[in-house]
Amino acid sequence: MAKRAAPEVNAGSMADIAFLLLIFFLVTTTIETNQGLSARLPERQPVTEDAPPLRKRNVFEVMVNQNDQLLVENELMEIGDLREAAVAFLDNGGDGSCAYCQGTKDVNSSVNPNKAIISLRNQRGTSYKMYVAVQNELQAAYNVLRERERERLYPNEVSWTEMWAQYNAAKTSDARKDALKPKIEKLQELFPYKLSEAEPKKD
């Protein structure tokens, strides 16, 4: 009676228990979608300050109404054509002061990318989906132009969007960030992002 071998525990149900836990975690897992369009809101300005006068040719007016229709420079436009129109406007180089512009030098379009402003106005009834699509297309227009200049100035670098992503990621090394910084600043200077959002009219 002194020595009795301890009975072995049956591990057959181990798999069942593990499966149960597995299914629980499978169900509760949500892959986080933390990506999106970055934007910067304008600071509150003192009301007394007069806005500097803008020449009409330097402003690219985009309006979206409550039926999600797009009015660009007072003409109806499909969202699919917006990117091209914005690129043409920014790249116009009307007064010849912009050496790298390849636009048509239209007299009714912007004089220089530094002066070109895109003005976006939406109404309270505009759908968020449409608004995001418009924002996306305008951002894309800048990305297209910056990528073109990147190819010209830094042909050995990764694409503009990739440069920007690396520059903003925390895991990128400091040395790489220092190398990217002047290039990014140069490209941003060539085509500065100037989007003005008017407060929507009450309707």
Q: By C-alpha distance, which of 152, 144, 151 is closest to 191? A: 144
Residues in region 102-131 near other proteins by CB under 8 A? 122-131
Give the range of 85-93, 96-104, 134-142, 183-191 binding other proteins by CB under 8 A.
134-142
- Token reading at 44: 């509150």
Residue from 28, 48, 74, 173 that binds other proteins (CB under 8 A)? 28
Instruction: Sheet with 195-197: list strands edge to edge.
Output: 75-77, 70-72, 59-64, 117-122, 195-197
Q: Which of left, alpha, beta for 156 (phi over 0: left; psi -120 to 50: alpha)?
A: alpha
Q: How far is the CB of 15 from other proteins (least distance, A)?
A: 5
- Of 112 and 136, CB closest to other proteins: 136
Is 34 a binder of other proteins (CB under 8 A)? yes
Query: DSSP label at 109?
Result: S
Q: How far is the CB of 146 from other proteins (least distance, A)?
A: 11
- Token reading at 13: 């149900």
Residues in region 37-76 near other proteins by CB under 8 A? 37-44, 66, 68
Buried b / exposed e over 61-100, threshold 16 CB at 10 Å, is ebbbeeebebebeeeeeebeebbebbbbbbbbbbeeebee
Give the range of 46-54, 77-85, 92-100, 103-111 binding other proteins by CB under 8 A.
77-85
Under the rule (CB under 8 A), what is the footprint of other proteins?
A: 11, 14-15, 18-19, 21-22, 25-26, 28-44, 66, 68, 78-80, 122-133, 135-137, 139-140, 143, 161, 164-165, 168-170, 199-200
